[in-house]
Amino acid sequence: MTDMPEVTGRDGYIVALALYEFIRSEQAKSKADRREMDEEDAKTILHVRFDDELRTLAQIDRDAGREPPDCRRTRSIGG
C-alpha cells in the first residue's frame, strides 16, 4: 500500500475497525469454516499499521463488557 492522503480524517480507524470486525466474525465460525490465513494476515496488518487503533478498539469492547477478539499474531511479519 502506498501512503495516500486521508479522505475522512478517520481512515485509519475505519480500516482498523473493518479488520477487527473481520477477525471477530472469523473467530465466531467453526474451525472448519474459518479463513485462517486471511485472519492471520488481518492480525498482522492491524499490528503493523494500526496498533494504536487496535488498542482503542479492544478497550471499547472491554468498556462495553464485550470480550475483544483474539488479535494476537501467531506468525512473524512476512511469513
∠ CA 72-74-78 to the nearest 5 degrees? Answer: 115
Mean pLDDT of the chain: 91
Residue 4 has pLDDT above 90, yes or no: no
Give the global pTM: 0.85
Residue 60 has pLDDT above 60, yes or no: yes
Model confidence band, residue 75 (pLDDT cutoffs 50, 70, 90):
low
